[in-house]
């Protein structure tokens, strides 16, 4: 019998659209001893996770807890527990994660009304308004940060329209929580779903969610139980609530990870964290432009910490560029999906990775790698442009110069 060696991967710098590198403190938390799931020390930790999640989502919602599973488990739990066969849901689609919402809604037999925009653009509120006129819409599902295209969707007008039409607004903030401003109550979002591996600085595998009483009522007043047991919000509420209903086994180490990640976010401060993501992302954007790479899509509505750039025409094999970055430099950047496959790269500085030293590392690597694949770049300018862009933000607000 042969036993493979213990798995000991090299440290890679993950500068794609997620997963990003986890905070070292989060990884240490995951190696702590396991407790039984109803051990009072563990249930106390669960309560702290709920409380920290409320602070980070900026909500007073009682129902604020994580779903065990990756972010889409959170999306599916919320959508699947609200929608019943034939209910109408409007889904905003301008990228891959709009597709995901659409797919989940269809699988739960909702009647899906798509409101589309070109990939790389936002969805205009007027288009959602038009769709709402059809009447009898139970929910509007929108992606806050469309990670496949780098777009930050404005939601204020859409939230107002949902109120006017007495419709629930469900928001995918998987990539934005911890990186962009997310203020669930002030923004009038009824439900919001996030994930750990994007701007929260942990590994994938647990999905913080929050929803208000309007959603609770929709869930409680269903004619029939949802088709899912694992992701049934009614049971999950009873498991995370004081009743401690025995549902699934807690993913203990993931709860430790989430607890530590949220502690770090609150310690840093929500505004400071958004500022750091903005400053470092803008610096990366400036450096990439100095290399001659063209930004993709509507950057006026872009996620600052996720820079999509067009693959230059001169480059015949974009996968070879990514391969060389990964193998020779230990840096991963993101490819793209669907209509954008092979056409753009997505470069993220998310969570723990939102630091200037990572920007410098990638820019220096690209300066060496791109010319070998046929794209000439000006030497020695990218890092300086990135530093200048970061300094501009220091100057704008010295209080955040850290």
Ligand X SMILES: *Cc1c(COP(=O)(O)O)cnc(C)c1O
Measured from the CB atom, is 110 or 141 closer to ligand X? 141
* Cβ-based nearer residue to ligand X, 199 or 365: 199
Question: How buried is residue 89: exposed, middle or buried, by Cβ count under 10 Å (0-12/13-18/19+)?
Answer: buried
Give the nearest distance from C-beta 150 to ligand X in angstroms: 11
CB nearer to ligand X: give 298 or 324: 298
Binding site for ligand X (CB under 6 A): 18, 70-72, 97, 100, 143, 145, 147, 172, 174-175, 195, 198, 204
Nearer to ligand X by C-beta: 306 or 363?
A: 306
Q: Are strands 191-193 and 206-211 parallel, antiparallel or unpaired?
A: antiparallel
Report which DSSP code applies to 123. Answer: P
Q: How far is the CB of 196 from ligand X (least distance, A)?
A: 8
- 125 token code pair: 């509120």
**DSSP letter for each residue of 24-42:** HHHHHHHTSPP--TT-HHH
CA distances from 323 to 12, 158, 309 (A): 13, 41, 17
Q: How far is the CB of 306 from ligand X (least distance, A)?
A: 9
Identify which of residues 64 and 70 has a Cβ nearer to ligand X in the complex. 70
Q: Shortest gap between Cβ of 81 and ligand X (angstroms)?
A: 17
82 SS3 class: helix
Least distance CB 183 / ligand X (angstroms): 18
Backbone angles phi, psi at 180, to 5 degrees: -120, 170
Give the nearer residue to ligand X in terms of CB position, either 174 or 231: 174
Tokens read off for 26: 């989060």
On the CB side of 130, CA atoms within 13 Å amount to 10
Q: In Å, how far from its chain's centre is CA 15?
A: 14
Instruction: Give the CA angle between residues 301, 381, 358 to the nearest 5°.
Output: 65
Residue 301: CB atoms within 10 A of its CB come to: 15
Q: Which is nearer to ligand X, 18 or 201 (CB)?
A: 18
- Shortest distance in whole angstroms from residue 198 CB to ligand X: 6
Least distance (Å) from ligand X to the CB of residue 74?
8
Measured from the CB atom, the residue of 113 and 199 that comes closer to ligand X is 199
**Least CB distance from residue 143 to ligand X, whole Å?**
5
Give the CA distances from residue 262 to residues 23, 87, 255, 256, in Å, rounded to whole numbers and listed in that order: 11, 35, 11, 10
Q: What does each C-alpha distance from 310 to 79, 200, 294, 330, 342 come to in angstroms?
A: 34, 27, 6, 22, 9
């Amino acid at each position: 019998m042969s036993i493979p060696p213990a798995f000991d991967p090299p440290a890679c710098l993950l500068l794609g659209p997620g997963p990003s590198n986890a905070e070292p403190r989060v990884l240490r938390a995951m190696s702590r001893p396991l407790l039984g799931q109803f051990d009072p020390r563990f249930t106390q930790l669960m309560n702290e996770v709920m409380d920290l999640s409320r602070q980070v989502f900026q909500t007073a919602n009682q129902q604020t807890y994580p779903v065990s599973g990756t972010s889409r488990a959170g999306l599916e739990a919320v959508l699947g527990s609200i929608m019943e066969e034939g209910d109408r849901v409007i889904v905003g689609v301008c990228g891959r994660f709009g597709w995901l919402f659409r797919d989940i809604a269809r699988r739960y037999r909702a009647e899906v009304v798509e409101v589309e925009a070109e990939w790389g653009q936002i969805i205009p509120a007027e288009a959602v308004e038009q769709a709402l006129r059809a009447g009898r819409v139970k929910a509007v599902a929108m992606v806050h940060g469309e990670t496949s295209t780098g777009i930050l969707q404005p939601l204020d007008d859409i939230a107002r329209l949902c109120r006017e039409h007495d419709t629930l607004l469900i928001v995918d903030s998987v990539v934005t929580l911890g990186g962009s401003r997310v203020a669930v109550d002030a923004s009038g979002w009824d439900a919001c779903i996030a994930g750990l591996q994007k701007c929260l600085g942990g590994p994938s595998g647990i999905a913080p969610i929050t929803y208000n009483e309007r959603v609770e009522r929709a869930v409680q007043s269903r004619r029939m139980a949802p088709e899912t047991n694992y992701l049934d919000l009614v049971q999950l509420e009873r498991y995370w609530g004081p009743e401690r209903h025995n549902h699934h086994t807690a993913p203990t180490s993931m709860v430790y990870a989430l607890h530590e990640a949220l502690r770090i976010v609150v310690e840093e401060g929500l505004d400071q964290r958004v500022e750091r993501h903005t400053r470092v992302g803008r610096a990366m954007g400036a450096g990439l432009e100095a290399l001659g790479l063209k930004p993709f899509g509507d950057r006026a509505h872009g996620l600052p910490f996720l820079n999509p750039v067009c693959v230059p025409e001169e480059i015949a094999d974009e996968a070879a560029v990514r391969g060389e970055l990964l193998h020779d430099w230990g840096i991963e950047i993101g490819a793209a999906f669907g209509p954008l496959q092979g056409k753009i790269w997505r470069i993220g500085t998310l969570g723990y990775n939102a630091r200037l030293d990572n920007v410098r590392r990638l820019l220096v690597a690209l300066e060496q790698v791109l010319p070998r694949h046929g794209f000439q770049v000006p030497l020695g300018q990218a890092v300086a442009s990135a530093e200048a862009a970061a300094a501009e933000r220091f100057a704008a607000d010295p209080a955040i110069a850290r």
